[in-house]
Amino acid sequence: MKKRKIVYGVLTCVSILFILYALVKNYLIDPGAVGFLSHKTGLKRELNLPVWLNVMYVHVAFACMAMASGLVNFSNRFFEKSRRFHRINGYVYIVSVLLVVLTSGYMAPYATGGKISSMGFNVLNMTWLFISITALIQIKKKRMIRHRNWMIRSYAFCFTNMSIHLITSLFHQGFGFVYITSYTLGIYGSIALLLVIPEIIIRTNRKEKVSG
């Protein structure tokens, strides 16, 4: 129990810091996404900047909402205090994920790295949506443990942006790859990480329950 509290505490700190970073960076420091857009060269589709920026603002807002609502619903304290709140907040999470996926779908064709990066984002979007809907179906069938496991898988995708930028920085600044190649590797590397890490967490939890 103590170990779970520590893990949840670390997860809370990381999530809050990332939410604050995303909000400050995208709405205050660089609302025009100048730095990010500077890497988008050779686009085959003309970028309508005002529309793209508005879609990005919605995307960031609901990505932060998904991260926050998902974090709250992993809290046993909130669950025990009000199951009704847990249920409503769960729907907030699902709706947020849907809007993140839809806005990402709009931005995917303009992804840094061209078509191969766009395909990667589409895979990410479809996978996240499928996993999230599966989590919803499981709770509708009263399968609590399966629901929680699928939510762990789903919540991992809230860290897509963080994962992509960490892997991109590793290849670009660490190994000297060109930025576009590094970013593409970041997308596909994130797909692998966001699928593998939750499985490790789920299996670890399962072993602890058995041994406990």
On whether the CB atoms of residues 171 and 185 are closer than 8 A, the answer is yes
The answer to which of 45-49, 146-150, 178-182 has the lowest mean pLDDT is 45-49
pLDDT band at 60 (very low <50, low <70, confident <90, very high): very high
Q: Of 39, 7, 76, 20, which is closest to residue 184 (Cα–Cα)?
A: 39
Task: Please give the pLDDT value at position 211.
Answer: 60
Task: Please give the pLDDT value at position 45.
Answer: 76
Task: Please give the pLDDT value at position 212.
Answer: 54
- Whether the predicted pLDDT of 210 surpasses 80: no
Q: How far is CA 123 from CA 101, 157, 170, 188, in A?
A: 11, 12, 22, 9
On whether the CB atoms of residues 59 and 36 are closer than 8 A, the answer is no
40 secondary structure, DSSP code: -
Task: Please give the pLDDT value at position 42.
Answer: 67
pLDDT digits (tens, 9 = 90+) for 25-47: 999 999 999 988 888 876 777 88
In the chain, pLDDT over 70 holds for what percent of residues? 97
User: What mean pLDDT do residues 151-165 have?
Assistant: 97
On whether the CB atoms of residues 167 and 190 are closer than 8 A, the answer is yes
Gap between the Cα atoms of 184 and 113, Å rounded? 6
Domain limits of the chain?
2-23+48-158
User: What mean pLDDT do residues 73-78 have?
Assistant: 89
Task: Please give the pLDDT value at position 35.
Answer: 86
Q: Of 150, 154, 66, which is closest to residue 103 (Cα–Cα)?
A: 66
Gap between the Cα atoms of 23 and 149, Å rounded? 29
**More confident position, 10 or 42:** 10
177 secondary structure, DSSP code: -
Residue carrying structure tokens 């400050």: 24
pLDDT digits (tens, 9 = 90+) for 79-111: 888 899 999 999 999 999 999 999 999 999 999
Task: Please give the pLDDT value at position 46.
Answer: 82
Task: Please give the pLDDT value at position 37.
Answer: 87
pLDDT band at 2 (very low <50, low <70, confident <90, very high): confident
On whether the CB atoms of residues 193 and 159 are closer than 8 A, the answer is no
Gap between the Cα atoms of 196 and 73, Å rounded? 22
Gap between the Cα atoms of 12 and 67, Å rounded? 10
Task: Please give the pLDDT value at position 75.
Answer: 92
User: What mean pLDDT do residues 133-156 have?
Assistant: 97
Give the Cβ contact number of residue 69 at 10 Å: 22
Residue carrying structure tokens 């996993």: 131
The sign of the dihedral angle between the CA atoms of 11, 15, 18, 24 is negative
